[in-house]
Amino acid sequence: MNKKICVIGGGRWGQNHIKTLFEMGNLAGIVEADADRLSELLQKYPVQGFAILDEAIANGFDGYTVATPAVTHYPIGKRLLEFGNHVLIEKPLTLSSAHAKELVAIAERNGSRLMVGHVMLFHPAIRKIKELVSEGKIGQLQYIYSTRLNFGTVRTEESVFWSFAPHDISILNYLAGGSPVNIEAKGSKFLQNQVYDVTMAQLEYPDNLHGHIFVSWLHPFKEQRLVLIGSKGMLSYEDSTKEKEILYYEKHFEIVNGQPLKYEEPDHVIPYEKALPLSEELKYFVDHLDTGIQIADGQSGYEVVKVLERVHGLITQ
């Protein structure tokens, strides 16, 4: 049966949800408070339109996606889940871990599917890297680092870690298979008194797996780099390049008779199938409404918010 999905929010990212779901044949409704914007969207996408959330809830769609400002995620998500609806909420799930935990509990109590829009987990390159790590391509995973750097966009209401790092936290947790057990962080602010422009976070996971996240919107060029170090090899992926290649480095050290010996072979590109992450994410949501969400579920979204809160506390203390 073709699932009918309603998108809540007709702003910039909401329009991406709307367009993608329409192309998939799953768009059935749009909720948008701005009457002019709603009218424009309905002219382009002939589906049901609503100015009020409860009217869309009463319609009983198979699922809802929430692409509204982050401050509204909690009240909108709570309202939807209280009626037993299946919901995908854009990242971050909420702006506090207490609210995120509450949404997860409501979903579990009502048998609702709760998914979070950590879209990078559906990027074919990240999925391929996860597959390579699981297969043991680089041996035991030891260290991960992620950089997300750019010149802008500078926010006035949130620091760079809240703005940039949800992607990186979700990726590190996904590749590590869990959440960090210890976190250290430092931040710097230059442009505004209360808003941090640069942050470095060090995350420690079980089994001596370590990672760091470096984010900045005061950087001369764009860089979105992920590097994984294993006991038998290494991987890197640069999302800000045109090629978007996964590189495999067949190199490692071994301690022999107390001395480090270097093993190194030529690097090569790992092929993977290209696809749009948002399309893959929304297809996953639609396809798993009946069977359950395993990737980017509510619990994982809650764990990301906990890291965001912890890092913010560390850099502002």
- Tens of pLDDT, residue by residue over 28-42, are 999 999 999 999 999
**Mean pLDDT value across the chain:** 97
Q: Give me the residues paired with residue 148 across strands.
A: 215, 224
pLDDT tens sequence across 148-194: 999 999 999 899 999 999 999 999 999 999 999 999 999 999 999 99
Q: What is residue 154's DSSP assignment?
A: P
Q: Record the pTM.
A: 0.95
Count the helix, strand and coil residues of the chain and give each as a percent rounded to the nearest 5.
Answer: 35, 30, 30
Look up residue 55 and give its two tokens: 């009217």
- State the burial class of residue 126 (Cβ atoms within 10 Å of its Cβ: 0-12, 13-18, 19+): buried
pLDDT tens sequence across 222-275: 999 999 999 999 999 999 999 999 999 999 999 999 999 999 999 999 999 999
pLDDT tens sequence across 188-204: 999 999 999 999 999 99
Give the C-alpha distances (Å, rounded to integers) separating 179 from 119, 129, 162, 182, 209: 18, 18, 17, 9, 11
- State the burial class of residue 266 (Cβ atoms within 10 Å of its Cβ: 0-12, 13-18, 19+): exposed
Dist. CA 314–CA 203, nearest whole Å: 13
Edge-first strand order for the sheet with 48-50 is 48-50, 27-31, 5-8, 63-66, 87-90, 114-117
Work out the pLDDT band at 1, boundaries 50, 70, 90.
low
Domains and CATH numbers, the chain: 5-117 (3.40.50.720), 121-278+307-316 (3.30.360.10)
Give yes or no for a contact between 27 and 282, defined as CB atoms under 8 angstroms apart: no
> What is the bridge-based pairing of β-strands 63-66 and 5-8?
parallel
